[in-house]
């Protein structure tokens, strides 16, 4: 398992459009991927738009992205960079 934390800086958080981009990117990897708010003890499937949107991840929220699988490190690093690039 590999994981990293990142703060969501986007003014609107992970609303519908960036959440959809995030899920599309997560689905490109074979690893099992979860995202969770650091203040929460449970993560959700990062490949599910419905699960991601129910988390209501807003600006300033620190999330942890974790993955298990053959491309876990590549998946997590890519998704952390993606969250950092959201500017709308």
Which residues are marked as active site?
A: 15
Euclidean distance between CA atoms 32 and 26, whole angstroms:
9
Helices 16-26 and 72-85, axial angle in degrees (round to 10): 160
Q: Which residues contact 40 (CB under 8 A, 6 or more apart)?
A: 55
67 beta partners: 2, 33
For the record, the structure tokens of 49 come out as 């738009």
Euclidean distance between CA atoms 61 and 10, whole angstroms:
10
């Amino acid at each position: 398992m590999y994981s990293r934390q990142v703060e969501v800086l986007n003014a609107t958080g992970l609303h519908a459009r960036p959440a959809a981009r995030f899920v599309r990117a997560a689905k490109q990897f074979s690893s099992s991927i979860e995202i969770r708010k650091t203040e929460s003890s449970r993560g959700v499937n990062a490949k599910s738009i419905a699960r991601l949107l129910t988390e209501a991840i807003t600006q300033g929220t620190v999330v942890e992205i974790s993955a298990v699988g053959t491309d876990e490190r590549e998946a997590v690093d890519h998704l952390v960079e993606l969250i950092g690039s959201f500017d709308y």
